[in-house]
């Protein structure tokens, strides 16, 4: 499998994909040879027949979601959205959750990078706010991220989520030494439902345990990044 293709009922003209290790590292900030990364990106664009270079972001684990095209070629943000055809939204991940969003008309899209900090700070709400639609008119796909049985966190992280929502307690399972196993996909689904969005797909992978297909920062520390892309044809 070269790519993971979202299994969701997106309208015709909405294209999306998440790469695997077979596409190589697609990030420029992880110490890889810049020439190799450039080649990997070129190969990806040619293989998928992308209409334009993806808009790569400088991801900082916050909540900014920028409209594309943007003034800066590399904007500091953790999400992007567009209504323009041929503009490719992109996020890079290696355990964090890539989230893509579209509406049932298929005339607007968004890509979001969600680690625990972004989830806790409201990155999903920020991304969804870019759509002038009610929740039942939106659909979301959760891409490959670290699974609950692989994601151990401390009590301080759990408390951040539980302060925002009592329901979040359901997404943490006790582990050894007073620590917890956190469900990133479960937390994302809860937040989406609180926004009235129930058409949520994906979320069945674990980047940590599936070393053949996915990069994982928690597993390998110094590692590559997968790309999740979405665009309007």
pLDDT at residue 71 greater than cutoff 90: no
pLDDT digits (tens, 9 = 90+) for 108-167: 999 999 999 999 999 999 999 999 889 999 999 999 999 999 999 999 999 999 998 999
Cα separation values, 225 from 10, 18, 63, 83, 147, Å: 25, 11, 20, 26, 17
Predicted structure pTM score? 0.96
Q: What confidence score (pLDDT) does residue 74 get?
A: 78
| Nearest to 19, CA basis, from 185, 225, 193 | 225
3-147+197-232: which CATH number, 3.40.50.300, 3.60.140.10, 3.40.50.10860, 2.40.50.100?
3.60.140.10
In angstroms, what is the C-alpha Rg of the chain? 17
Domain boundaries, the chain: 3-147+197-232
């Amino acid at each position: 499998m070269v790519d993971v293709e979202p299994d969701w009922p997106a309208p015709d003209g909405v294209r999306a994909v998440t790469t695997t290790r077979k596409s190589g590292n697609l990030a420029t900030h992880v110490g890889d040879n810049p020439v190799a990364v450039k080649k990997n990106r070129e190969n990806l664009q040619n293989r998928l027949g992308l209409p334009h270079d993806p808009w790569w972001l400088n991801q900082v684990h916050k909540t900014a979601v920028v409209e594309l095209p943007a003034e800066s070629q590399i904007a500091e943000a953790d999400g992007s959205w567009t209504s323009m055809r041929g503009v490719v939204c992109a996020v890079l991940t290696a355990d964090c959750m890539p989230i893509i969003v579209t509406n049932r008309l298929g005339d607007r899209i968004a890509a979001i990078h969600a680690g625990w900090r972004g989830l806790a700070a409201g990155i999903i709400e920020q991304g969804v706010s870019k759509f002038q639609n009610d929740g039942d008119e939106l659909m979301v796909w959760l891409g490959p991220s670290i699974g609950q049985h692989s994601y151990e966190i401390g009590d301080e992280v759990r408390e951040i989520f539980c302060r925002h929502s009592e329901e979040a307690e359901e997404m943490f399972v006790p582990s050894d030494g007073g620590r917890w196993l956190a469900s990133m996909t479960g937390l994302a689904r809860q937040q989406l439902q609180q926004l009235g969005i129930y058409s949520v797909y994906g979320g069945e992978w674990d980047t940590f345990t599936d070393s053949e297909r996915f990069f994982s920062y928690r597993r390998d520390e110094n590692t590559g990044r997968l790309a999740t892309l979405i665009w309007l044809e």
